[in-house]
Structure 1
Amino acid sequence: MNNQPTHSRRYSPLDRLLINTDQALRTLFGRPSTTERRNPAAGLMEPDLRDEQRRHVARLMRINHTGEICAQALYQGQALTAKLPETRQRMERSAKEENDHLAWCEERLNELGDRKSLLNPLWYAGSFAMGAAAGLAGDKWSLGFVVETERQVENHLDDHLGQIPVHDEKSRAILERMKADEVRHAQIAKAAGGADLPAPIRAAMKLTSRVMTRTVYWV
């Protein structure tokens, strides 16, 4: 009988593939595992929004929800191919915190009476592939990919905070907490040895993000 603690168990590549498949299904169609942190919007009053304001805020939250789908896929792809166990564990912990964001965005979407993007499976698959490729390139590049991703998400959240009505404290509280987490994730990845990505890769990431946000706003 193996009395080794569960957290120290060594998983085979096949084990990790099956775990990632389960996580993908939970992320896209179920309820992924979270840290059980309290939703920062809990207890705040629902704002009185005009119909066009509600639609716009809902579409922004849909973008943020899909962004968290992509972040989850990136982290899982990196965790699958990361070479050092410490790096893999760091990715998995960050991914679980990103699941908090996913749950908060979905809850806010439901409150606003809107739906998730129909393209989420497509964006998950593409982001997972990008994360796996980053992991294969080496841990310093994988961590550097996290740093750049989180920096771009931080800028993206700043833009949305500027578009949300001032009196929509619920949406604002969620985005502000998300932004603080993204900043911290980038700092952790940088301190762990993340390398600065080449300019062409950073530009390609920005272009991909722009395509995603403009598409998901409508679909």
Structure 2
Amino acid sequence: MNRLDQFITTFDLGLRTVFASLHASRPYPGSGPEANLSDAERACAAALMRVNHVGEVCAQALYAGQAFTARNDAVRVELEQAAREETDHLAWCEQRINELGGRKSLLNPLWFGGAFGIGVVAGLAGDRWNLGFLAETERQVETHLDGHLQQLPEADARSRAVVGQMKLDEARHAQTAVNLGGVPLPPPMKWAMHLAADVMRQTASRI
């Protein structure tokens, strides 16, 4: 695929990610009975799932940016495969948000654009650093999802099932990146990534 085709594909991905309702290729994990949640519990769960949805919007953009500048075809293929699985997460989060009566973040176009730029920069650094960035991103997301499992209402089995499956997938993506040659990132970069993610989480939970 030449650069123009990649650009058109990426632009189409951005439009679909931000404005369309995507369909998952795998069954929805939260297919069990709906819990009798209080208004406060429902609002809490909806806000957490909105944050997770934003994370998946960012994942789509990040992988697209990394694939756009990846030098190795095998790395590009793995990034595109991971992005397809993240599409399932995006669809699952949106479905759960709708079930809870919540809404998606109003800043999704901004999240997508910023994450795509970060992905492009990561790819330009070279494939080993690109994969290392992917592995660290997925590790931090896994930790973030573990925190959400602790914060979600105990009775909300549907949200917990969605988040639990997402966590398993993120751990596998991280290990794949390491297996392909990803190198550990310097501590200051890990700290900067963590700080940026905190800003995103705090903002997305409200807007």
Is the Cα contact below 8 Å between 2:23 and 2:91 reproduced in 1? no
Aligned-residue offset at 1:31: 3.5
Deviations 1:64-87 (A, max 9, x none): 000000111100000111011111
Alignment correspondent of 2:18: 28
Following superposition of structure 1 onto structure 2, how do residues 72-87 of structure 1 map, counting pairs within 5 Å?
72-87=60-75
The match for 2:7 is 17
Structure-to-structure mapping, 1:72-111, within 5 angstroms: 72-111=60-99
2:57 to 60, 66, 69: 69
Name the aligned partner's letter for residue 16 of structure 1: Q
- List gaps (5 residues or longer) in structure 2: none
Task: Give the Cα separation in 1 of the matches to 2:23 and 2:15.
Answer: 12
Percent of residue pairs bearing the same amino acid type: 53
C-alpha RMSD of the superposition: 0.9
**Is there any run of 5+ residues in structure 1 with no aligned partner, and where?**
1-10
Give the Cα separation in 1 of the matches to 2:20 and 2:69.
24
| 1:53 equivalent in alignment to 2:5 | no
Quick one: which of 37, 40, 44 aligns to 2:29?
40
Q: Which has the larger radius of gyration?
A: 1
> Contact between 1:77 and 1:130, CA under 8 Å: does it hold in 2?
yes
Q: What is the CA-CA distance between 1:32 and the residue it aligns to?
A: 4.1
What displacement does 1:200 show?
1.0
- Determine the C-alpha separation between the residues in 2 that align with 1:169 and 1:119: 28
What is the CA–CA distance in structure 2 between the aligned matches of 1:97 and 1:71, rounded to whole Å?
10
Deviation at 1:121, TM superposition (A): 0.7
TM-score (norm 1): 0.93
**Normalised TM-score (structure 2):** 0.98
Residue 139 of structure 1 corresponds to which residue in structure 2? 127
Letter in 2 for 1:178: M
Count of residue pairs the alignment pairs up: 207
